[in-house]
Chains A and B, each alone.
Chain A
Amino acid sequence: MKLAYYPGCSLSTTGIEYNMSTLAVARTLGLDLWEIPEWNCCGASSAHLTNHLLALALPARNLAIAEEAGLDVAVPCAACFARFKATEAAVKDSAETRATIEEVIGRKYEAKYTVKSLLDVFVNTVGLSQIKTLVNRPLEGLKVAPYYGCLLVRPHKITQFDDPEDPVTIDQIMSAIGAEPVYWGYKTECCGAAHPTVVPEVGLKMLKSIYQGARDAGADCIVTACPLCLTNLDMRQKEVGEQNNTQYNLPVFYFTELVGLALGHDPHTLGIDKHFVDALAFLKNKGFLNPVQNRRDSE
Chain B
Amino acid sequence: MKRVGVFICHCGTNIAHTVDCEKVAKTAAEFPHVVFSTDYKYMCSEPGQMVIKNAIKEHKLDRIVVASCSPRMHEPTFRKCMESAGLNPYLMEMANIREHCSWVHPDKEKGTEKAIDLVKMAVAKVVKNTPLTRSSIPIHKRALVIGGGIAGIQAALDIADAGYVVDIVEKEPSIGGRMAQVDKTFPTLDCSACILTPKMVDAAQHPNINLVTYSEIEKVEGYVGNFEVTIRHKARSVDVSKCTGCGTCWEKCPTKVASEFELGLGTRKAIYTPFPQAVPNKPVIDRDNCRYFKTGKCMVCQKLCPTGAVDYTQEDQLETIRYGAIVVATGFDLFDHSVYGEYGYGKYPDVITGLQFERLINASGPTAGKIKRPSDHKEPKTIVFIKCVGSRDEAKGKPYCSKTCCMYTAKHATLVKEKIKDSQAIVFYMDVRTPGKNYEEFYQRAVDEYGVQYVRGRVSKIYQKGDKLIVKGEDTLLGKQVEVEADMVVLATAMVARSDAGDLARKVGFSYDQHDFFTEAHPKLRPVETHTAGVYLAGACQGPKDIPDSVSQASAAAAKVCGLLSKNEMATEPIISAVNESICSGCGLCISICPYKAIDLKTITERVHGKMLERQVAAVNSGLCQGCGACTVACRSSALNLRGFTNEQILAEVDALCL
Q: Which residues of A contact B (CB under 8 A)?
A: 163-166, 183-186, 213, 216
Sample (20) of A-B pairs whose CB atoms are under 8 Å apart: A163-B341, A164-B341, A165-B340, A165-B341, A165-B342, A165-B345, A165-B461, A166-B341, A166-B345, A183-B464, A184-B463, A185-B461, A185-B463, A185-B464, A185-B465, A185-B470, A186-B463, A213-B465, A216-B465, A216-B466
Q: Which residue of A lies closest to B344 (CB)?
A: A166
Which residues 429-487 in B have Cβ within 8 Å of A in the complex? 461, 463-466, 470
Distance to closest chain A CB from B463 (angstroms) = 3
Residues of A near B342 (CB, < 8 A) are 165
Q: Which residue of A lies closest to B339 (CB)?
A: A165
Residues of B near A166 (CB, < 8 A) are 341, 345
Task: Compute how far the CA of A24 lies from the CA of B345 in the bound complex, rounded to whole angstroms.
Answer: 37
Task: Compute how far the CA of A188 lies from the CA of B79 in the bound complex, rounded to whole angstroms.
Answer: 75
Distance to closest chain A CB from B397 (angstroms) = 15
Residues of B near A183 (CB, < 8 A) are 464
Task: Compute how far the CA of A164 lies from the CA of B396 in the bound complex, rounded to whole angstroms.
Answer: 13
Which residues 344-401 in B have Cβ within 8 Å of A in the complex? 345
Task: Compute how far the CA of A69 lies from the CA of B38 in the bound complex, rounded to whole angstroms.
Answer: 89
Pairs A-B, 3 closest by C-beta atoms: A165-B341, A185-B463, A166-B341
Task: Compute how far the CA of A183 lies from the CA of B344 in the bound complex, rounded to whole angstroms.
Answer: 12
Task: Compute how far the CA of A216 lies from the CA of B466 in the bound complex, rounded to whole angstroms.
Answer: 8
Task: Compute how far the CA of A103 lies from the CA of B340 in the bound complex, rounded to whole angstroms.
Answer: 42
Task: Compute how far the CA of A213 lies from the CA of B341 in the bound complex, rounded to whole angstroms.
Answer: 18
Task: Compute how far the CA of A166 lies from the CA of B470 in the bound complex, rounded to whole angstroms.
Answer: 15
Residues of B near A165 (CB, < 8 A) are 340-342, 345, 461
Interface residues on B, range: 10 to 19
Residues of B near A186 (CB, < 8 A) are 463
Distance to closest chain B CB from A185 (angstroms) = 3
5 more A-B residue pairs beyond the given contacts A164-B341, A166-B341, with a C-beta to C-beta distance below 8 A: A165-B341, A165-B342, A165-B461, A185-B461, A186-B463
Task: Compute how far the CA of A186 lies from the CA of B470 in the bound complex, rounded to whole angstroms.
Answer: 11
Task: Compute how far the CA of A184 lies from the CA of B342 in the bound complex, rounded to whole angstroms.
Answer: 13
Task: Compute how far the CA of A183 lies from the CA of B463 in the bound complex, rounded to whole angstroms.
Answer: 10
Task: Compute how far the CA of A186 lies from the CA of B461 in the bound complex, rounded to whole angstroms.
Answer: 10
Q: Which residue of A lies closest to B347 (CB)?
A: A166
Distance to closest chain B CB from A223 (angstroms) = 18
Residues of B near A184 (CB, < 8 A) are 463
Interface string of B308-342 (1 = CB under 8 A from A): 00000000000000000000000000000000111
Task: Compute how far the CA of A164 lies from the CA of B470 in the bound complex, rounded to whole angstroms.
Answer: 19
Residues of B near A163 (CB, < 8 A) are 341
Task: Compute how far the CA of A140 lies from the CA of B584 in the bound complex, rounded to whole angstroms.
Answer: 78
Q: Which residue of B lies closest to A209 (CB)?
A: B483
Residues of B near A213 (CB, < 8 A) are 465
Task: Compute how far the CA of A103 lies from the CA of B345 in the bound complex, rounded to whole angstroms.
Answer: 45
Distance to closest chain A CB from B315 (angstroms) = 45
Task: Compute how far the CA of A186 lies from the CA of B463 in the bound complex, rounded to whole angstroms.
Answer: 8
Residues of A near B340 (CB, < 8 A) are 165
Residues of B near A164 (CB, < 8 A) are 341
Distance to closest chain B CB from A233 (angstroms) = 19
Residues of B near A216 (CB, < 8 A) are 465-466
Interface centre among A164, A165, A186 (most CB of B within 10 A): A165
Distance to closest chain A CB from B111 (angstroms) = 53
Task: Compute how far the CA of A164 lies from the CA of B340 in the bound complex, rounded to whole angstroms.
Answer: 10
Distance to closest chain B CB from A229 (angstroms) = 18
Task: Compute how far the CA of A165 lies from the CA of B463 in the bound complex, rounded to whole angstroms.
Answer: 11
Interface centre among A164, A166, A185, A216 (most CB of B within 10 A): A185
Distance to closest chain A CB from B208 (angstroms) = 54
Distance to closest chain B CB from A295 (angstroms) = 39
Residues of A near B345 (CB, < 8 A) are 165-166
Q: Which residue of B lies closest to A189 (CB)?
A: B461
Residues of A near B470 (CB, < 8 A) are 185
Residues of B near A185 (CB, < 8 A) are 461, 463-465, 470
Q: Which residue of B lies closest to A165 (CB)?
A: B341
Q: Which residue of B lies closest to A164 (CB)?
A: B341
Q: Which residue of A lies closest to B341 (CB)?
A: A165
Task: Compute how far the CA of A65 lies from the CA of B28 in the bound complex, rounded to whole angstroms.
Answer: 82
Task: Compute how far the CA of A163 lies from the CA of B466 in the bound complex, rounded to whole angstroms.
Answer: 24
Q: Which residue of A lies closest to B461 (CB)?
A: A185
Distance to closest chain B CB from A158 (angstroms) = 15
Distance to closest chain B CB from A145 (angstroms) = 13
Distance to closest chain B CB from A60 (angstroms) = 29
Task: Compute how far the CA of A184 lies from the CA of B340 in the bound complex, rounded to whole angstroms.
Answer: 17
Residues of A near B464 (CB, < 8 A) are 183, 185
Task: Compute how far the CA of A183 lies from the CA of B340 in the bound complex, rounded to whole angstroms.
Answer: 17
Task: Compute how far the CA of A165 lies from the CA of B347 in the bound complex, rounded to whole angstroms.
Answer: 13
Distance to closest chain A CB from B337 (angstroms) = 12
Task: Compute how far the CA of A224 lies from the CA of B518 in the bound complex, rounded to whole angstroms.
Answer: 50
Interface centre among B341, B345, B464 (most CB of A within 10 A): B341
Distance to closest chain A CB from B489 (angstroms) = 13
Task: Compute how far the CA of A213 lies from the CA of B470 in the bound complex, rounded to whole angstroms.
Answer: 11
Task: Compute how far the CA of A186 lies from the CA of B464 in the bound complex, rounded to whole angstroms.
Answer: 10
Distance to closest chain B CB from A189 (angstroms) = 8
Distance to closest chain A CB from B394 (angstroms) = 14
Distance to closest chain A CB from B465 (angstroms) = 6
Residues of A near B463 (CB, < 8 A) are 184-186
Interface string of B61-87 (1 = CB under 8 A from A): 000000000000000000000000000
Task: Compute how far the CA of A163 lies from the CA of B464 in the bound complex, rounded to whole angstroms.
Answer: 18
Q: Which residue of A lies closest to B462 (CB)?
A: A185
Task: Compute how far the CA of A185 lies from the CA of B466 in the bound complex, rounded to whole angstroms.
Answer: 11
Task: Compute how far the CA of A184 lies from the CA of B344 in the bound complex, rounded to whole angstroms.
Answer: 11
Task: Compute how far the CA of A163 lies from the CA of B344 in the bound complex, rounded to whole angstroms.
Answer: 12
Q: Which residue of B lies closest to A185 (CB)?
A: B463
Q: Which residue of A lies closest to B470 (CB)?
A: A185
Residues of A near B461 (CB, < 8 A) are 165, 185
Interface string of B491-517 (1 = CB under 8 A from A): 000000000000000000000000000
Task: Compute how far the CA of A186 lies from the CA of B465 in the bound complex, rounded to whole angstroms.
Answer: 10
